[in-house]
Each structure stands twice: as structure tokens, then as C-alpha cells.
Amino acid sequence: MKLRLSFIFIAVLIITLVAPGATLACWINLSSQELIQQADVLLIGDIVGPIGEEKIKLQGLSESRWVTKWKVKVYYYLKGSQKSNEFIVATPGAENKSIMTSADYRLDQWGHTVLLFLRSGEGLYEPLSPQGVVNLQKNESSQKTEGPLNGQFILDQFEIVDRKISPTEKSELEKFILQNNLFASPNNVTEAHSFNLKGFTELELPSKGGKPLIIYCLIA
């Protein structure tokens, strides 16, 4: 027993000496409902990759922290008013920096295609926690070229395969997607995923240039 305690003490001492800038941090466990409610933006997309690192100052404090910025190609927005087909997401920590915490992680740590639960703060959008990065798998054989943009349409294209979440949490997220009627594609209807316009209502709006503006609306 004494030998085991001595080994643990030595290991902790070595870590402290080798990484003097390391600090301990942890994440609060969030339920699926808490993730959904607390997120400012929910989106499904592909992680393109990191685009840079930045040291930001914490609001109301003198301390700063490092973040890594990632570019994400957006397929769908499930929550939020954003419309861009690319989204910049920040994660805590940066490679080869002197200050590290146990809460640092990479956005692509669990997969390439993801469902992100993001919060806004300090001029950035970050996942609520590692739980807010849910790994998805594209169902290439089930890719639809037509149909209404609803929850079933989304689930037919993407499957939740994240090992961080329990079967119950997976079911709750799938239920949320099925019941959510606020999906938005960053592209227009005529271009996004080769949608067939069947089921859409065509509206003609006047424009200053003389040529009418044609839009398509899905009437539930």
C-alpha cells in the first residue's frame, strides 16, 4: 500500500514539474434536455479543420486563455438564426502552448461529421462541453434527393454513433430532431441537396430591378 501511494505521489510530482502551466479543470455533466435548452446554436456539419489559435481575455477577469478556431461546413441548423454555410467554432486549448488544462480538447477528437451544441460568449461560439460535440455517421445509401425538410429527413441522412452518450440520451436527441420543425439549410431550396420542389409553394415578389424575385416556401 505504501509503495502504491509513493508511486502515485511521484507520478503527480513528475507531471507538475514537467508541465508547470497545467491546471485542473472539469466539465459539468449535462442531460440531453440541458444541452438543447442551453445551446444558442445547434447545427449539423462536417469539420473542415483548424484555422488558427487565439489568446482571449476572460470577461471581467484579468486572466486569459487559449482557444483553437475550427471551420465547420454546415448542412443544417436546428436552432439559431444563422444562415451561413460555414461556421467558426472555438474549443479550449491550443497545441504546444505553455498553459494547458484537463478541459482542453479538439473539435475533431471524436469524428468528422458532428451535431454541435454551441453557446455564444466572449465573441466566440464554443460547444457547451465535450458532450456538445456529438459524432454522426452519414448514411450514404439513404441520402434523399427529395422530400420535406423535417426530422425524419435528417435522421434518414445522419445516424448518431457517438460512444460518449448513452442509449437513453441518443433516443432523447433523436426524439428532439423528429419533433423539431425549425430546420434551416444555409443554401437556398433550389440548390441544397438537389431538393425536388414538389410540396413547395412558389411565391413571386416584386424587386427594384424589375425582374420578380421567386422564392419557394414549404407550407406545413
Model pLDDT for residues 132-190, shown as the tens digit of each residue:
999 999 987 655 556 678 899 999 999 999 999 999 999 999 999 999 877 888 864 33
Of the listed ranges 10-14, 170-174, 213-217, the least confidently predicted one is 10-14
Provide the pLDDT for residue 82: 86
- Residue with the bigger pLDDT between 143 and 115: it is 115
Q: What is the mean pLDDT of residues 68-92?
A: 93
**What does the pLDDT read at residue 193?**
33
pLDDT value for 9: 40
pLDDT, one tens digit per residue, over 16-73 is 434 444 444 566 788 899 999 999 999 999 999 999 998 887 666 567 888 999 999 9
CA distances from 82 to 35, 125, 200 (A): 18, 12, 22
Q: How big is the chain by its Cα radius of gyration, in Å? A: 22
Of the listed ranges 101-105, 168-172, 190-194, the least confidently predicted one is 190-194
Q: Are 94 and 51 in contact (CB under 8 A)?
A: no
Portions of the chain given CATH number 2.40.50: 27-186
- pLDDT of 4 reads 45
By DSSP bridging, strand 22-23 and strand 100-101 are parallel
pLDDT at 204: 55
Across 121-130, 146-155, 183-192, 198-207, least confident range: 198-207
Give which of 198, 154, 146 is closest to 175, Cα–Cα. Answer: 154
Question: Over 60: is that where the pLDDT of 8 sits?
Answer: no
The domain 27-186 having CATH identifier 1.10.287: the answer here is no
**47 and 110 Cβ atoms separated by less than 8 Å:** no
- How far out from the chain centre does Cα 150 lie? 19
pLDDT for position 79: 93
Q: Does residue 76 have a pLDDT over 80? A: yes
